[in-house]
Structure 1
């Protein structure tokens, strides 16, 4: 390791090539993991291949965490080598910074900082193992993976012009991130589906990540040959010198190809912050737009029909004003003021009165649509700037979907959110103010008519309308299309809290495709693929339908840039004003298909979601036709391409923002990953508490999102199984939400969402502390009125299969519907030979009319309390179970319906089973005092008397208990 260069300055005791830092780091790191693996397999093989579900021979290869953290002495040997690795690791980060730093460049500092943080987090998850502290181990592991992204991308961006190093970095980075996909897949197979052997395959991919990760850093040996430690730059690489036989220009081109040209124009922090601000401003637009439906929906809910406030849906047609020349000129010249005024929609949460909140949101959205249309039109004379604006607007939609996933399908800055239910309204507004001021820093490019016309404004506006609806209705929440294809248990398709990232990835891929392959997007072939994808989503369930959903998501995002860019060059009052009007029409159309019983002429479009999808795709087709017609001329194409590619430096920042949003989603996804280790409240008594609650679409009496308050009552009442009705929120008018996700994950329950949003019901859902073995969804006969949903599920309760039925009957105005539905349910319940209970909304009086179909010899069901004369809608029925208690709990201000609960014991042994099935009416009706009931079978005492938070036992003033 003697120096190849003479020591002209004197004083050098030891000199060796910088590449030895890389080799020492690589050897120590690989040595740590491989030594632990060899020793662990030799001494504790069967123990380290054992996981929570399976052991040898089903699982035969250990995971990284089990190898390095569970046993002595492999754990000690691993930590020894990792300690040795730390010195070379810090030196490696320092040398790479010295190699790449340039005056005035921020990126080398950012990469160096990420390298230091990455090293520290690596030490964190290796020294704090999952056995020591599972929580901190996971946090540090996630942090390490997240910080690996800027380190990897930064190293590619700053890589010296060395063809071999660039090639190896590109391959190893691709392998590393590509391995994450099968890694996650097999982890899901192990954790969720409990597939034997899946964890072994997962372990191989986990070890592959280690190999690729360390290998990526080992490539620095090819760069560090320019260094000699003390540290002396013997080749002048830090000054940009190059002694290679290959020209710098050639190597720079190779580097540009390796990085996709993303970093060709350098990196500037201010530009990156500008793009981030633009994307956040796009996020604000989508936040206000998606909130309007929620605050409008509140009023027809309480009026049980059209209230008049629905007219605020037309807030979006404000761009029609741009058809007036004087107004257009004024708005374009003052578009900064318009964007600032639009933030009023974020401050609506400060107002308690629902009516005032609605009008403030409507005003904010109206100004926002006007401002964005003016901005697009003004920037249309410069294609690069226009594309940057549209990309920010589209990325804002992705950010909105990511935020909704992190907040369990609620947007944290919606006006129905506040601090009490998890809102971040104040923080969101501060960032929005920064974003809008940054967004408006650039002056308008034109205030008059655009010089470039061409095309048809009518076709462009029709395309816009279809595009806006598709983006809003299908992509504003990652769970929407997943619930379209959901068909119950056992799980045979995607689930929202596990596979939601696939939708985000498809959206991201579509946006990147339109950036780098625009010609492939604006073709009839691409449109045909989009149409086929829409048909698959509409017709099929499970994975087949979801594959169509992913393809449609990619297509909608990809076509959004050219369609909006084309519309921006036309008359904005017509294109954007009429476009939003058409969007509003399709929004009403897609609400009418389920709300047909409450609107004039609604039955003409009853349950015709297929017509809605067809309308959407035909509208988009009109926009595509206009695009293709304009692009027919070769001369126009060349001019357009030259203008579009004249300045593309902004694209790398958009790609960076998209990458960051995906990483944030994956972090939230990890935190929300289901544990599936749920336990009932009182297993020692073999009992369960069942409840039925009509949740009124998760909006309380004061128009706040009610999930947190619902969670508190369900938890404090110790409900093990609950049916939720009026729970389908996956439409624009309801905010594309899913209350069941928050409740199930926070309460630790399995969930069946019930018939999906494309089944045209108001929703029925089931949450259970007990595993759901099987479930089927039913749409009951409804020749006249609203469609009635039902769930028939089998639960594994203490080793006994018990059936549960969740059912929402038709409305009062349609007696024939309700009679047919009662007969259907009676036969369905009677078909079950297992112990069963019904959680329902029946719209009948006790002991009268259709009640005698539900409680009959055909169904075999018994009323939980026939003496309760005050009921009208909610009923609990049962058979083959030992009923021990029944209570009615006041709703407070959460909804318009009380929570009804009943306690049952699952019989054990032949005698108990026979007694439960054959009990006489007298035996079932005998009531006892609370003190005669074991503690574990009593209802919580906190709701006696005045109760808590306006919840108390009412009607009977206290729970009723029955003979065991």
Structure 2
């Protein structure tokens, strides 16, 4: 079915492109083709309702839409009958007796004009391989720009992450303001005349992966990005005198963003050519760099149309235009550089009542595609306060609502941002680029800092002033874009005097739209490959045993600044962990690359996943992965009057037919004792409210047997320490009740993060009587330790990590796992 739908894309576009010049037939083909692809939205929705949510009757409704596709497909082909309106079959005497008359009254030229009008001029000329290669190179070079831009935040973030505060390396975010240098005439003239050199220099951002030292790798990325920003500003400015050529550059820039989002989806939210990637963790850096070199050669093969930076135009305001560019680039980067970002904004736990990243991500790509096409073909529709109002309403829904209501707003915003990007960038290119792009990127940088400050308020000067105000960020972003729109609208009376639309050669659009179709196709292929199976099995089902773990993953950057998902996956799999809580796991911000480690881990390990409080909840993240179905989960933001917010997940799992509650929690910092006291009381009451067997996987910031520990482990919570004799803990703790604990181990982290992996094994009671007996069990019996040979083999920890272990992972502190029996 998927193959049929995907192959219909080239069939439909090919029929329209190659059809005879019959405006009526083309019009109907557009209508029927649009209805065909529009039907896919409810088709996919009801398929998911049937396949994932098991909604009764959903498959019947799906079948109706499925058959509708067949009817529409046949209808599309039936329109061919209209192409035969003027067709005549003549039977004549080949000896010359017949006297046929040519009844054609309409010239071919007129019909071709009608076809061009019906198709928007996209198929006005034939296909040329050289032109297609040019457009492909342009788009790939745009992808390279967005790859370097989105990588800078990650490599900068590495340093304050390890310094636990401002490190000084944050200054590298200012490398984007390099277009300011275009105001210096000799530099501006050199850059414009030697664009091939500066575009080549920008590839330092890709070569950076070869640099082992994190500091020098940051230098390489910063230099590459500065060259990329000044090069693109010079290119857009020098090509601004030629409307068609300027449009190709803008489309390359914007489709490059879409390509980046597609690549990140295929690589589980990592970009394969980022400097935090290499062959060992799935990177395609060498291939990406090779293609980037070819793309630059093709991208810069035509001489610049101007030998210097374009002079200031009298119409409009460069300042207002720069505000629009700043807001636009920030919005594109923070919301659309990954398809899962806005989905996680509206995620609120189980049961699933909204979009899911690996199922519905294409909706974001489709919205971006539609927006870009509208922005190119209908600029008058986009440059209006009505369109701005729709975009602002979408931003409000995304910020204020959850589940599908919030995501519908996100899709509306995606359409608007991609649509308005075409006229906004085009307007900025026609003004002084040192102002529009230099100052624009400065505004973008301030927005990035604002974006960080709202969650990092406990570590930065002035942080409490903007604490937890993502709504202020969204409002400011839309006001900045509105300033750019105001500048565009103020120039409309002048623009109407010159019919720009007639002067633009639209030949290139068929190639750009073809690439958009190809990228959507590739995304759907990746989407099909990533579609969840939900047939996950625990490691020791026969023993009714599950292994629970807690790990603070330090935002998935290892000690050497490499993305650590693969190494984490290997340890979790080899330790046979069935349920694991991950902390410091929210990566859906500019400074962290808009990533989501849980997607890769869940899909590769075969686990259900709850991301926890989303990126608009201003926490550092808490996530839950489970081999067992998550029946229900609620997200909590614990009291934090002074310090950072403490996230918690309360989930109910179906473990071998028994309901087990799992709590994942990250408490506040050591510097805020009142916060931690309030959080301790809150969580203890929350755990105590559960009558079911429970496990806490947590980061508590307390000393064993002292202070807040005695509130977590108390009659209020009903919880017991997994091993109260473990004196060495400070942060990570595993607590439990109503379960039979059989083992506990601590596994060294190697260089993956700054915190070890702690794991415990539990046997689930098989009936209510056994559960009651476990709740009533005395402490002396509960803590009786035994030797490994006294427990069944299925209850034991893997021997792989004994002694020196493997890859830097071994059992430590006790030098071996501990076992218990009662």
Which residue does 2:509 correspond to in 1? Answer: 651
Which residue does 2:363 correspond to in 1? Answer: 502
Which residue does 2:50 correspond to in 1? Answer: 190
Which residue does 1:893 correspond to in 2? Answer: 751
Distance 1:165 1:624 in 2: 37
Structure 1 residue 346 displacement after superposition: 0.5
Structure 1 residue 545 displacement after superposition: 1.2
Q: Tell me, yes or no, if the aligned pair for 2:550 and 2:697 is still in contact at 8 Å.
A: yes
Structure 1 residue 780 displacement after superposition: 0.7
Q: Tell me, yes or no, if the aligned pair for 1:740 and 1:751 is still in contact at 8 Å.
A: yes
Structure 1 residue 920 displacement after superposition: 0.4
* Counterparts of residues 300-449 of structure 1 (less than 5 Å): 300-448=160-308
* Counterparts of residues 194-343 of structure 1 (less than 5 Å): 194-213=54-73, 216-217=76-77, 244=104, 246-343=106-203
- Between stretches 379-388 and 762-771, larger displacement belongs to 379-388
Which residue does 2:496 correspond to in 1? Answer: 637
Structure 1 residue 355 displacement after superposition: 0.8
Distance 1:449 1:874 in 2: 58
Distance 1:714 1:455 in 2: 58
Which of 397, 418, 422 lines up with 1:536 in the alignment? 397
Distance 2:128 2:470 in 1: 47
Listed as ranges, the gaps of 5+ residues in structure 2 are 95-100
Which residue does 2:422 correspond to in 1? Answer: 561
Q: Tell me, yes or no, if the aligned pair for 1:884 and 1:937 is still in contact at 8 Å.
A: yes
- Between stretches 161-170 and 357-366, larger displacement belongs to 161-170
Q: Tell me, yes or no, if the aligned pair for 1:864 and 1:876 is still in contact at 8 Å.
A: yes
Q: Tell me, yes or no, if the aligned pair for 1:384 and 1:643 is still in contact at 8 Å.
A: no
SS of residue in 2 equivalent to 1:595: coil
* Counterparts of residues 706-717 of structure 1 (less than 5 Å): 706-717=564-575
Structure 1 residue 365 displacement after superposition: 0.3
- CA RMSD in angstroms, aligned pairs only: 2.1
Which residue does 2:814 correspond to in 1? Answer: 956
Structure 1 residue 337 displacement after superposition: 0.9
Scaled by the length of structure 2, what TM-score is found? 0.95
Deviation digits for residues 158-182 of structure 1, max 9, x if unmatched? 1123567546644553343333222
Q: Residues 175, 526 of structure 1: CA spacing in aligned structure 2 closer, same or farther, 3 A cutoff? A: closer
Which residue does 1:725 correspond to in 2? Answer: 583
Distance 1:937 1:783 in 2: 43
Distance 1:449 1:223 in 2: 51
Which residue does 2:763 correspond to in 1? Answer: 905
Q: Tell me, yes or no, if the aligned pair for 2:638 and 2:648 is still in contact at 8 Å.
A: yes
Distance 1:810 1:571 in 2: 48
1:837 aligns with 2:695: yes
1:766 aligns with 2:624: yes
Structure 1 residue 642 displacement after superposition: 2.7
Distance 1:502 1:638 in 2: 39
Which residue does 1:740 correspond to in 2? Answer: 598
Q: Residues 223, 609 of structure 1: CA spacing in aligned structure 2 closer, same or farther, 3 A cutoff? A: closer
Deviation digits for residues 549-582 of structure 1, max 9, x if unmatched? 1111111111111111111122111221111111
Which of 436, 441, 445 lines up with 1:575 in the alignment? 436
SS of residue in 2 equivalent to 1:196: coil
Which of 386, 399, 402 lines up with 1:525 in the alignment? 386
Which of 912, 925, 929 lines up with 2:787 in the alignment? 929
Distance 1:799 1:568 in 2: 63
Q: Tell me, yes or no, if the aligned pair for 1:349 and 1:415 is still in contact at 8 Å.
A: yes
Structure 1 residue 265 displacement after superposition: 2.6
* Counterparts of residues 658-697 of structure 1 (less than 5 Å): 658-697=516-555
Q: Residues 935, 243 of structure 1: CA spacing in aligned structure 2 closer, same or farther, 3 A cutoff? A: farther
Which residue does 1:855 correspond to in 2? Answer: 713
Q: Tell me, yes or no, if the aligned pair for 1:170 and 1:258 is still in contact at 8 Å.
A: no
Distance 1:343 1:505 in 2: 30
Which residue does 2:643 correspond to in 1? Answer: 785
SS of residue in 1 equivalent to 2:506: coil
- Between stretches 707-716 and 151-160, larger displacement belongs to 151-160
Distance 2:502 2:528 in 1: 39
Q: Aligned pair count?
A: 811
Structure 1 residue 646 displacement after superposition: 2.9
Structure 1 residue 222 displacement after superposition: 7.3
Structure ID, larger Rg: 1
Structure 1 residue 257 displacement after superposition: 4.8
Listed as ranges, the gaps of 5+ residues in structure 1 are 1-140, 235-240
Distance 1:956 1:148 in 2: 62
Structure 1 residue 933 displacement after superposition: 1.3
Which residue does 1:479 correspond to in 2? Answer: 340
Which residue does 1:67 correspond to in 2? Answer: none
Distance 1:489 1:961 in 2: 34
Which residue does 1:106 correspond to in 2? Answer: none
Structure 1 residue 335 displacement after superposition: 1.1
Q: Tell me, yes or no, if the aligned pair for 2:189 and 2:309 is still in contact at 8 Å.
A: no
1:589 aligns with 2:450: yes
Q: Tell me, yes or no, if the aligned pair for 2:121 and 2:506 is still in contact at 8 Å.
A: no
Deviation digits for residues 607-648 of structure 1, max 9, x if unmatched? 111111111111111111111112234xx3231x33664311
- Between stretches 166-175 and 831-840, larger displacement belongs to 166-175
Q: Tell me, yes or no, if the aligned pair for 1:690 and 1:721 is still in contact at 8 Å.
A: yes
Scaled by the length of structure 1, what TM-score is found? 0.82
Q: Residues 939, 382 of structure 1: CA spacing in aligned structure 2 closer, same or farther, 3 A cutoff? A: same
Q: Tell me, yes or no, if the aligned pair for 1:486 and 1:542 is still in contact at 8 Å.
A: yes
Which of 730, 733, 753 lines up with 1:875 in the alignment? 733
Q: Tell me, yes or no, if the aligned pair for 1:486 and 1:494 is still in contact at 8 Å.
A: yes
Distance 1:644 1:735 in 2: 41
Q: Tell me, yes or no, if the aligned pair for 2:122 and 2:506 is still in contact at 8 Å.
A: no
Q: Tell me, yes or no, if the aligned pair for 2:698 and 2:733 is still in contact at 8 Å.
A: yes
Q: Tell me, yes or no, if the aligned pair for 1:453 and 1:569 is still in contact at 8 Å.
A: no
Q: Tell me, yes or no, if the aligned pair for 2:363 and 2:411 is still in contact at 8 Å.
A: yes
Distance 1:626 1:148 in 2: 42
Q: Residues 768, 473 of structure 1: CA spacing in aligned structure 2 closer, same or farther, 3 A cutoff? A: same
Q: Residues 548, 211 of structure 1: CA spacing in aligned structure 2 closer, same or farther, 3 A cutoff? A: closer
Which residue does 2:654 correspond to in 1? Answer: 796
Which residue does 1:160 correspond to in 2? Answer: 20
SS of residue in 1 equivalent to 2:650: strand
1:549 aligns with 2:410: yes
Structure 1 residue 947 displacement after superposition: 1.1
Q: Residues 540, 142 of structure 1: CA spacing in aligned structure 2 closer, same or farther, 3 A cutoff? A: closer
Distance 1:242 1:948 in 2: 85
Distance 2:715 2:324 in 1: 58
Which of 557, 563, 578 lines up with 1:699 in the alignment? 557
Structure 1 residue 228 displacement after superposition: 13
SS of residue in 2 equivalent to 1:395: helix
- Between stretches 217-226 and 508-517, larger displacement belongs to 217-226
Distance 2:78 2:390 in 1: 43
Structure 1 residue 147 displacement after superposition: 3.5
SS of residue in 1 equivalent to 2:806: coil
